[in-house]
Structure 1
């Protein structure tokens, strides 16, 4: 009898339930229920092992013999074929982590550190809109700089800021994959950036109203509606729209409004709270807003929550104005530069901009509150049409 290749394709198809040896440790096992499979018996490191080679007829006689030969070759090299197959399966599984799954996992791990827990989806939207439709179904370990370049090139020169955000998000996702132990190219984003080159897109600044025109606009906000009051307070304080829209009674203490660090733009875990001095004109607006406040929020929406980011902008759009609410921060900054001698760091702090290095900020522990109060008093005088005088500030250390 032959030592190997004892079975025939015709014979195994008609075989009754039982075990049939093909030789060399390869067995055909036919079950009572009609199913069948291939089993290879080998001895490795003094241990007898049984290795399944697949079900019949999906794995035919020829393929079973080929798999058996490969396993026997590994045994001759003192490699356990069963452990080696499991290792290969694990490696294959690691490579099958799709980019869309990694991106979602990266977002979930960072959501708590994002403004509003990332509920608005702004962190994820550059990926969802411009990256996942092309790279989402690709294993993250297979993504290289060419894939990233080809994905972002259509918007690189037309939507520069969005493309940059998408590139940064891809980098975060790849680092997240590396932290999970997946084989990725950590330099892929840097290489893609080099391939994409400098963007031809010119950033468009948010339209701002000339500071000389602010008083007449401020005077026109005289209906006492939530939108009018919010716009007035936005102009007087120079803050961004989001913290103003979410202004809450708990944040106020007399004539000081403290915006929690997590509500500030570009939030970091160590972002300090930001104090805003409230001048009499601002306090008067707050008193008016309290008449329609809900759950402590001074600018509630008609239905639920607070007014949307677009509420104030639409008011200006309906008046056919080019300027937008955020532009009043520019109006204030230009007024500071042209009509006062406020030091740079004081003027920038007025807009809650970060000034100086981390080391400098560590030693310079001041937010220039009283100097900012004086400036905001003069700004309020200008806005309400009470004065147009140029302000000279005494130098303060």
Structure 2
């Protein structure tokens, strides 16, 4: 069987074919094949059963390294663990980059906006991967993340804010998969200093300028679908994605029923349609195709958000499409007597007071109908003035 004395490095290199115990009490032995190949084997009791583990071959694995691994395996077995399973887990430990990709794959179905789906990985690649992307997830510290996020803040403050929770999602996945025990990307762990730079809000037009913008859009050389979509978006105070993906089956008489999956808060939203909004839909009927979209692009797909925003800016209006919701809200506050909750429900905002929300279950549809008609009247009266002035020039 071979000697049970302690092996030496010289013996490991020169012993003839056979099996040779190391004599360290770990069950380590060297098996020399007739071909001259030298393999490290360990015999150890794992949960009451004798197991034989391969530890690699010499000289890739030296005598000292084989002894170190054998000793650790014996310790794991003594604690009731399985050394082979431990080694497999160690080999399967993901890097931060691998964990981020796995996290992204799991979260992707929950994101409505393709931009959010793409930005998750692209921002990590730009600001996090260069310093820690190839590090094992379990070895990344709060200090590592803090340094990377502060560096990102210096270049792109808005992105840096999102990086914190994107990194946190990666570690939450790691905890759930058993790769890490704690999340070093929490606000408490990062202890980031307060960013005193003011957050920039979406650019919005004064409500008095919105009719001018509609007139400019109507007079532009943009596609009919784009023109109608922008006006419909303004008239309904809706988000771009809700309008661009709107379908004919969602129109129920004088009501537009937006399904929950397209709403930011994942709740269905009924929107009362003004007479002008219905007139816009009547124009859009001429564009009806097999896609079912109310405002289809030339290829039968939804218009892009960039198409709407770009047109408004090219016409000389410093505003984001989303900013028309702000224009509507300011108009309601300054020019009408409609209660605040009516305007908030028109924007599909959720009441943050849980107690109040529990009792106030009505969507105030009839009151919102009056409000949206008043908004349309305000816009069309302003639009008439714009057209009249333009015609007399």
TM over 0.5: yes
TM-superposed deviation, 1:180 = 1.3
Aligned to 1:355: 351
Deviation, structure 1 residue 39: 3.8
Aligned positions of 1:243-392 closer than 5 A: 243-265=242-264, 267=265, 271-294=266-289, 295-385=291-381
In structure 2, C-alpha distance between the alignment counterparts of 1:216 and 1:2, rounded to whole Å: 97
Provide TM-score, normalisation by structure 1. Answer: 0.82
Q: Secondary structure at the match of 1:303?
A: coil
Structure 1 position 181 matched with structure 2 position 208 = no
* Corresponding residue of 1:30: 32
Distance 1:29 1:251 in 2: 74
Structure with more helix by fraction? 2
Matches within 5 A, 1:105-124: 105-115=102-112, 120-124=117-121
Q: Distance in 2 between matches of 1:319 and 1:364?
A: 42
Query: Do residues 209 (structure 1) and 223 (structure 2) align?
Result: no
Change (3 A) 1:4 1:237: same
User: 1:45 touches 1:78 (CA, 8 Å); kept in 2?
Assistant: no
Give the alignment's TM-score, normalised by structure 2. Answer: 0.83
1:12-91 equivalent positions in 2, closer than 5 A: 13=14, 15=16, 18-21=17-20, 24=23, 27-39=29-41, 50-60=52-62, 62-63=63-64, 66=67, 71=71, 85-86=83-84, 88-90=86-88
CA RMSD in angstroms, aligned pairs only:
3.5
Q: Give 1:109 deviation, angstroms.
A: 2.1
Query: Displacement, 1:57?
Result: 3.2
Q: Please name the residue that 2:164 is paired with.
A: 167
SS of the residue corresponding to residue 217 of structure 1 reads: helix
1:83–1:350 distance in 2 versus 1, CA, 3 Å: closer
Residues 238, 2 of structure 1: alpha-carbon distance in 2 compared, 3 angstrom cutoff: closer
Change (3 A) 1:91 1:287: same
Give how far 1:3 is off.
Answer: 6.0
Q: Secondary structure at the match of 1:221?
A: helix
How far did residue 385 of structure 1 move? 1.1
Long gaps (5+) in structure 1: 389-397
1:395 alignment counterpart: none
| Match of residue 4 from structure 1 | 5
Q: For residues 337 and 26 of structure 1, do their structure 2 counterparts lie closer, same or farther at Cα, with a shift above 3 Å needed?
A: closer
CA distance in 1, matches of 2:281, 2:47: 82
Find the counterpart in structure 2 of residue 103 from structure 1: 100
Structure 1 pair 188–331 and aligned structure 2 pair: CA distance change class (3 A): closer
Q: Per-residue deviation at 1:325?
A: 1.8
Deviation at 1:165, TM superposition (A): 1.3
Once the two structures are superposed, residues 85-144 of structure 1 have per-residue CA deviations (whole angstroms, 9 ceiling, x without a partner) of 4365256346x3212222222222222222158885244443343223332212121122
What CA distance in whole angstroms lies between the structure 2 residues aligned with 1:132 and 1:74? 34
Q: Which residues of structure 2 form unaligned runs of 5+?
A: 385-393
1:31: Cα distance to partner? 2.4
The alignment partner of 1:385 has SS state of: helix
Shift of residue 173, structure 1, vs aligned partner: 1.7
CA contact under 8 A between 1:51 and 1:82: conserved in structure 2?
Answer: no
What residue in structure 2 maps to residue 129 of structure 1?
Answer: 126
